[in-house]
Structure 1
Amino acid sequence: MRIKSQKDFFSGLMFVMVGAGFAAGATQYSLGSGAKMGPGYFPLVLGVLLAIIGIAVTFTSLVVETEDGDKVGKFAWKPLFFIISANLVFGACIGGLPMIGLKPLGLIVGIYLLTYIASHAGDEHKFKEVAVLATILALLSYVAFIVLLKLQFPVWPAYFTA
């Protein structure tokens, strides 16, 4: 069979591999039953569903004809770098880096840094729009995680508290 859409073919393979990986990892936990689910039940079901979706996408890429073959373009290094960096910085803001003496900067500072760094992944960067987005995300995250879910992690930098 000839690949008729490279993008769909490789994304389908990626779905299959990630889904199979999650399903295999979930078998290390007790599964339980549908009525009384164990910690491995949900990841197993999601992994299997993702693998099935991947098989369907891969099959479609071999059957459905596309105009130009949907060639896979060059690798987008800039967005990859900024998105991964933004997530790493956010994680360091929430948990701190005790090995180098950095205390947690908190949820609010983390969201502002995450939004600002991730905004550089695109082609254009407008500081005012990024600031508005970060403010909305910080407010909604505070309400959702701290007020409603009552999660216990730092909201403000540890340097501000005694």
Structure 2
Amino acid sequence: MKTLAKRNANGHPSNWLSELMNRELFDWNSNNFSNTGTTLPAVNIKENEEGFTVEVAAPGMQKEDFKVEIDNNLLTISSEKQDEKVEQDGEKFTKREFSYQSFQRSFTLPQGMVKEDKIEAKYQDGVLYLMVPKKDEAKKKAPRLIKIS
């Protein structure tokens, strides 16, 4: 019997978590981009028995600067921030500095493994945290001793 399995470049069956972790940061086809030429924020993804934690390093931002969406197993984190600073020195000199930065990072969640409606987010100390809980059937079950009769 033949089964369909996605394979990596070495011909080995692929693992969705390793694909998620090894996704090319500057692969523009992966829907990760920054429109200002700046670097994208670094992302850590941790997995435990209960779910996944996504950490996005974004110092200097406010929670209102972020937009987090999930659509058809695609988790998208984006931000747009615009700053305007005006300095005046009497009537002789006026200086204006405009700053605009935005980014978008997208991650494909494992099909049927997470509770999309239970994803939570918080921004603390320059890091955006997303808690993505696993469905009960996706959690690793403890070994069970089978009694022999």
- TM-score normalised to structure 1 length: 0.22
- The structure showing larger relative contact order (alpha-carbon pairs under 8 Å, at least 6 residues apart) is 2
Higher strand share: 2
Write 1 or 2 for the structure with the bigger share of helix: 1
